Structures are given as structure tokens and as C-alpha cells.
Chains A and B, each alone.
Chain A
Amino acid sequence: MYDVLIIGGGVIGCAIARELTKYKLDVVLLEKEEDVSCGASKANSGIVHAGYDAEPNTKKAIFNVLGSRMYPDLARELGVPYKNIGSLVLGDRNGLVTLKELLARGEKNGVKGLEILDRKKLLEIEPNISDEVEYGLYAPTAAVVSPYQMTVALAEQAAVNGAKIELECQISKIEKNKSGYSVFTNKGQFDAKVLINAAGYGADKISEMCNGPKIDYVFTRGDYFVLDTVERKKYNHTCFPLPNEKGKGCLVSPSADGNVIVGPTAINVKLGDDTATQAEGLNYVKQDTARIIKNVNFRNVIRVFSGVRAVAGNDFIIRQDDNLITVAGICSPGLSSAPAIAKHVAEELVTKAGLKLVKKENFIPRYIPPVTREMSKKEWEKLIAVNPAYSKIVCRCEKVTEGEILDALNSPLKPKSLDAVKRRVRAGMGRCQGGFCTSRIMEIINRECGVPFTKITKKGKGSEIVVCEIKEETK
């Protein structure tokens, strides 16, 4: 019998799991995919918003501002790429009214340092703004973070502190009984006193299964472009257009990993996992960004992707009903709010659900693996002296060494697919998109983990890279 069972290995579920492992509790997290961070947590803008968007006193406003203040320490502690680059909302000469509203709202929400800048000032700090831009709202506390590395790091620290993380775990039935909940899955039965539904786009179905609150989702797909790292130097801040009824509009921003991200759209779709990009969406992004930034170089696109936000009304759903806790509809600013939501769920709601929180004496830190591309030559040399695998480049675009891939393969939450390796160490995330390193990483996985080539997948079962040996089927 577990104390707490969390459904969903997104940034919310993993942050809650980590928070709970600070206490003497038995925690299990169930995730249906082969890795954590496979839904909206991997496919979003990667922005830690300052917190001026949401209406005052909403959960979105409160947790966003609190979360954004927690990020610098948390990212450092977890060793996750986080850069406090600040954001700009850019408007034309008619935009000043809206910007003033945003500023006032932000100040009400407790955002520090907001300032409206004129074109002259804007050009000094962001030289590539469009000709029509006249005013901008500057938010110095906004930042960018690697959302998947954050989620993986949260899960890893939860795991080393005793949380059980069960991947590729599909739930077929949930029963409420007098001691708590029984959750039936392809990996067996899990019993727990408290159930936390953090199932992202699937939270509506999970809630139905456990007779929880009714969740009415609207799914909104966002299409994005990722630009080559060579474009990074053109931009200094996360640049937004003026928000409209559809959301925050298409941003142009450096990513925490050193690329430039452009998007998203906001297109309603039927399913929470309908992440297929569409030509109309991609074209819209190209047009819409012209409002704020001129001549975005779409010739240097290295990747397109889309993510789906599960929206449940105007605000997040964060509630506790008896021993069921529901954390759903965590669309934007969900990533920004995650640390604060997790703290709230652990410290307030889990207690209310009937568990006693007793702090462990020792909360084990996450082991932060070395990242050679960020090292000085001296540091790198030292590392090579310990293990020469750090001198063998495997991914040439992102300069990832074999040592780093081995670290990932031996980490607390062992990656089971090439995409999972990619999210951890960036191998395959560069301009050649794995053209060079895919087969080389397969060789390493084959050698180190004994997985046959034919069983190595891109992203879990059914996504095998190769189908059989040559001549195997033609003999």
C-alpha cells in the first residue's frame, strides 16, 4: 500500500512526486509512455512567465508568480538549463493601452520590475523588432527553461529519494475502497491511500474512472518552429505580440538550450494527443511573428513540432475531494507554475487528504551529470583524465560525448528510447537531427544495455528504428 499514487509523469506529476519525497511517504508515479515528459511538458515554449497575463487572484496568477520566484534556485539545484533573459510584449502605436493594462495587472499579481519601454529603448535591447513596434512591456523576471530536462530532473530526484516511477503503465480501472484507491494496470495493481490525478490531457478520463470532478477539456494545438543555434545571437529576450482572445500569440524566443523557438498557434483539436503539425498552422506562425520581429530566418528551421494544451475553463483545476487530488487543465502558465503547484499540493492538499507530513532528515540531491559543451577546456581535460569516454564526440551538432550518453543510460530514470536520450543530453537535437548520431547511439545502447538493434525505439513500443536484419525476411 502506497501513501500516494500519482497518475501522470508530466512536469506537474514529477514536481509533486519530488516534493512528496521530502517527507516520509511511499510514493508511486504511473506514466503511460516510455518516459516522463512525453505530453505537453515536452512540447511547449519553455518559458517561465513573469506573471502579468492572468487575472489577479486566479490560480494561474498566484502559482505563476510564486513558481517563477522558485525557478532560479530549483533549476540550479537540479542542474537544468534556465536563463533569466526577461521578456517583452511588443505592440504598435495602438498597443500602449493594452500594455498599460498588462503592467497594472502584473503589479497586482506581484510581478516585480515591470516597465514600459519606447521604441528607441527597445531597439537598444532587441535590435530586430518590426518597424511597426512602438512600445514594449519589459518583464525582467521572465526566463526560459528546458521543460523536458526540468521534468526529467524532477523525476530523477524523486526516484533517488524513494519514489517508484512506473513507465509504460496503462490504467484500465480505478476502484475506490475504504483504505483508499486500487489502480489496475498492465503492470499490476497499485493500492494507495491518496490518489493524485495529474494526467494532463488524459485527466478527464482518469477523473471519470475514479468518480472525480467532471473535467471539460478543450484541446488547443500549438505549432512551433525550432531554429538553428546560429540564429540565437539575433535575439535577447522572449518576445511576445499583444495578447488577444486566442492567447498570448506567436512568440520569438531564445530557448534555454540555445536555439530560437517560434510559435505557437492556437488551433482547437479533438484529441489531447493530436500533435500532428499542419501546413496552415505553420504558415500562420510565419505571418504572425512578422508583427513583432522582422525577417525571422525560416531558412534556418531545423525542426517543427506541436504540443496540445488541455484547457479546462479559465483557470487551473487544483482541488482536493476527500482522498482524491485533481491537478488538471494545467495549460499555460503551467510550466512556470509547476514548482509552486507541487508545493501547494504536497503541503496543503495532501495533508487535507488525510496524510501526515514528516520531513525526512536527508533529501538526497540530484546527481548533476557533466555537460562537456559548457565546460572550460581545463574542466573538460580533468573529466577526460577520469574517463576518456568524455573525449569521444557522438553527436557532432550539439557536441555530445559518449561519456554523457553513458551517464544518461546509467541515470536513475534510465532512458528507454532514442528520444529519451535526446531529451536528456541533446544528442540528435541539432541541425542534422540525428543523421549522424542515430546509428552511433544505437551502437552504444546495444553495447552497454544489451538491447538488440531491432528493439531500439524512437519513442517506445511500435517506434522501432529498424524492422529486421538484412536478409532476415528474404532468406
Chain B
Amino acid sequence: MNYDVVVIGGGPAGMAAAVSAKENGANVLIIERDNKLGGILNQCIHNGFGLHYFKTELTGPEYADRFVQKVNELKIDVMLNAFVIDITANKKLTVISAEKGLLEIQSKAVILAMGCRERTAGAIAIPGDRPAGVWTAGLAQRLSNIEGYMVGRKVVILGSGDIGLIMARRMTFEGAKVQMVCEILPYSSGLKRNIVQCLDDFNIPLYFSTTIAEIKGKQRVEGVVVAQVDEKMRPIESTKRYVECDTVLLSVGLIPENDLVRDIGMEFHPKTNGAVVNDFRQTSVDGIFSCGNVLHVHDLVDNVSNESILAGECAARYIKGELPKGETVNVIPGKGIGYALPQKIVKGSGEVKIFYRVDNVYKKPKVVVKCGEKTLYEKRGMIMAPGEMENVVLNKSDITSDISVSLEVDEK
């Protein structure tokens, strides 16, 4: 089997990338491990999607469906219940498909769109027992929204990531008592609008610099010991208190699912856990592109779609030999910046959008982008927090050497 572009993953990123590659003339295949397209959007039955991209408010399945329809209209090949088990730097894929068995597929370009997975209780090593009732928020979301079951009645949520916030509201709607959300950091990694709409509106308290120090209960969660943490994130003994609950939901971070491409010589970024890419979303492995949450974790699916459309278009241009190959410069995250992406820019003309996150909460910081001594961009923001991805648009013709993005801060 041969394709111009194989897209791994049929979630929002994969679908948008495939649509865009096809519209740019490529012969495209989407490989999806689930039995339908849409990815995690299928279990996100709440609204709030599409305000930027479609200029209207949609639920997750509705947002996904708009892209599913495009995939169908464009007659893009889709392989469902299929799983890529190996990929080489030469873009040869080994696929196991429930319908077709083991397959080898040679592609000219590959777009990685595998999304991310949730950080687990094991990964953060919460002390205590290992009973039923400790679930990642995403698993709880699937069990309630796809399977139709309640995962608990009295809930404590650890971590204020967006899925946790959404699940706080969802569980409350269904009659559960959400006791509190504990966030180990002094700020939330979730969107402000979700804190307001999912917690504040239901009087669910959100405690910062607070964690679960221990889980109690042998068979089923019986309660948790909650504590404030010191500057080294260690629980403070005198602040420990017991909170009764039968369920602990975790929303403590998302990890891009790059396990498939760990051993093909791809360069990764320690902060994003995704590939290092240039402004075409091409990774360090020639002809392999990356977009969506497998590249870096986004707040809004609208941004995922935009990024993936760019990746799809560039993959199509790549196979036609139209992708510029000039000299690259680096995008260096400076003071106050958690990460900036793309990490590299191919010199040329046109515009380039740099996405970045700040590394803490800042009041009225000045964002400065410099190329050498020359300031390319300067703007004072209001409140900036790591939970909200920001961006700045630059003219590529101004970029002659490495650029830096940094904050000038008066007060934290």
C-alpha cells in the first residue's frame, strides 16, 4: 500500500490535517485506532467548542462531526480499528487492523496526530492504598458520557486541568457531590472560563497550593488526606485534613503520545514533550510532521484545527517538493516564557505565528520579541497565566537570525 500522506490519528488534529492535505492535492489515509473518527471530542459532550474556528458554539461531537463530513465529502481513505505498531524514518508503517490484519504502508509524508494521554495516579506516586475509585478525569468522562455510568457519588478532584473542571460540573449535574478541587500549584492550568462556569457557578471550592497527601480505602476510596504544600511541593503536616469521598478524579497533566516515534531519531522538546518543529510543523525527521496535542497540549480545539490545517498543507507541499528548505533560525524562550512553538523558523517571506505559554502568573507583563538587538514586537498584556496559550504574529522577512520571546515584568 502506498500513500502520499498518512495521518496517524483520527481526532480533531488528524481530521483537519487530512482534509487540508487532500485539498492541497495529496492522496491521504487516516489511521484511527477507535471504531469511529473524532477522538476525545466524542466524549466531550459539553459546549464551548468552535467559537473561534466556526464562529459558533458547538459540543465536542458536533465539532468533530463537521470535520467527519469534510473527510467523507473529500473521500479521504480512513482505516478504523487500526493501530500503527511501527514506523521508520523512511516513513514505512506497520499497521495492525482489526479488519485487514497486519499491513505495511509506505508513505511519502507522515503527519503525527496521536493526541495525548493523561498523567496517572501512578505517575505522580500518590501515597496510600490503590483502591477502585481513583480515575483520570478523561476515563471518568468516557465512562459517564460514552458508557453511561456514574463513577462515584462524593468526589475530590486533584488538579485543575480543563478536563477535571469539566468533570466537576458534569458529576454535579448528575447528582454527585464534588467536595473540592485541589491544585498543587499556586495557579490553575485550566482556562479561566472553565473555572467560572464549572466551579464558581456551583460553589465548588478550588484550593491552590494544595494536594492529596494520601488516599485511604482498600477496596474503594473512603477518603483522602488533603494538605497544603510548601515551596518544594511537600505536604505541610499541620495542614493535613481528612476529606471523605468515594472517588478521586485526576486532572494533573496531559502527555503527548509520542511513544511510537521515540526511536526514529526525532528531536523532542523537554518542555512540550512533543517533537521540535519548524514553522511548517515539520519535525527533525524529513517528511514527518506533527500537529495538535501530540505536538504540544492545546487549550482550545480551534487552535488544534488551525495548526493541523497548516501541517496538512505543508505535508502536501512537501511531497510536491514545494516546501522551502532554506536556512533555519531558532525561537528561544526567554525570561518568563515556559515554551514557544515552533522552535525553528525557516527563513523566508510571509507571516509566522509563534505560540507560547508564560511560566507563571504575571500581572501586566510586557511581551517582547527580539531578533538580535532589534525588537520585532512589544506589547503589554493584562493578566497572563500558563493555562492560556498566547500567540504573536511576525513577518518572516524581519527574522534574520535567532529570535527570543520574553517577558518584562514589574510585578508577579
Contact = CB atoms under 8 A, between A and B. Distances in A.
B148 A469 contact: yes
A305 interface: yes
A216 B124 CA distance: 36
B56 interface: no
B314 to A, nearest CB: 28
B132 A458 contact: yes
Contacts of A392: 81, 98
B220 A462 contact: yes
A463 B131 contact: yes
A434 interface: yes
B33 A303 contact: no
A144 interface: no
A381 B143 contact: no
Interface stretch (B150-158, B198-206, B294-302, B382-390): B150-158
A230 B268 CA distance: 15
A331 B310 CA distance: 60
Contacts of A384: 101-102
B118 A435 contact: yes
B286 interface: no
Contacts of B130: 275, 305
Interface string B38-66: 00000000000000000000000000000
Given A463-B220, A467-B152, A474 B117 contact: no
A383 B368 CA distance: 60
A413 B376 CA distance: 69
A58 interface: no
Given A388-B98, A431-B117, A432-B117, A301 B150 contact: no
Given A432-B117, A435-B118, A458-B132, A279 B219 contact: no
A302 interface: yes
B219 A459 contact: yes
A368 interface: no
Given A388-B101, A432-B117, A435-B139, A442 B174 contact: no
Contact of B219 (A225, A278, A304, A461): A461
Interface residues of A, number: 58
Contacts of A393: 33, 83, 96
A474 B175 contact: yes
Contacts of B97: 391
A467 B219 contact: no
A388 to B, nearest CB: 7
Given A230-B262, A434-B139, A277 B128 contact: yes
A449 to B, nearest CB: 16
A322 B147 CA distance: 56
B175 A462 contact: no
Interface in A420-437: 431-436
A470 B117 contact: no
A119 interface: no
Contacts of A153: none
Contacts of B136: 435
Contact of A301 (B102, B122, B144, B246): B122
A278 B143 CA distance: 30
B235 interface: yes
B243 to A, nearest CB: 17
Interface string A210-226: 00000000000000011
Nearest to A467: B150
B120 A435 contact: yes
Q: Which of B100, B130, B131, B213 has the most CB of A within 10 A?
A: B130
Given A381-B101, A388-B101, A474-B174, A463 B132 contact: yes
A399 B102 CA distance: 14
Contacts of A438: 139, 143
Contact of B120 (A276, A396, A433): A433
A339 to B, nearest CB: 29
Nearest to A300: B123
B96 A391 contact: yes
B120 A432 contact: yes
Interface string A348-386: 000000000000000000000000000001001100110
B121 interface: yes
A468 B121 contact: no
A124 interface: no
A392 B82 CA distance: 8
B259 A304 contact: no
Interface string B95-130: 011111110000000000000011011110111111
A469 B174 CA distance: 10
A391 B117 contact: no
Contacts of B174: 470-471, 474
B39 to A, nearest CB: 12
Interface string B363-395: 000000000000000000000000000000000
Contacts of A468: 149-150
B102 A464 contact: no
B92 to A, nearest CB: 13
Interface string A435-475: 11011001100000000011001111111111111111110
Contacts of B214: 276, 278-279
A226 B262 CA distance: 20
A302 B152 CA distance: 24
Contact of A381 (B102, B146, B220): B102
Contacts of B1: none
B376 to A, nearest CB: 35
A281 B128 CA distance: 11
Contacts of B317: none
Contacts of A466: 143, 147, 149-151
A463 B246 CA distance: 11
Interface in A335-351: none
B117 A435 contact: yes
A457 B219 CA distance: 9
Given A391-B97, A434-B139, 15 more contacts: A230-B262, A275-B130, A276-B127, A276-B214, A304-B127, A380-B102, A391-B101, A396-B83, A431-B117, A433-B120, A439-B143, A443-B147, A458-B131, A468-B149, A474-B174
Interface of A: 225-226, 230, 273, 275-279, 281-282, 301-305, 377, 380-381, 384-385, 388, 391-393, 396-397, 399, 431-436, 438-439, 442-443, 453-454, 457-474
Closest 4 CB pairs of A and B: A303-B122, A462-B219, A466-B149, A463-B132
15 contacts: A276-B127, A277-B125, A277-B128, A302-B122, A381-B102, A391-B96, A396-B33, A432-B118, A438-B143, A439-B142, A459-B132, A461-B219, A464-B132, A465-B132, A466-B151
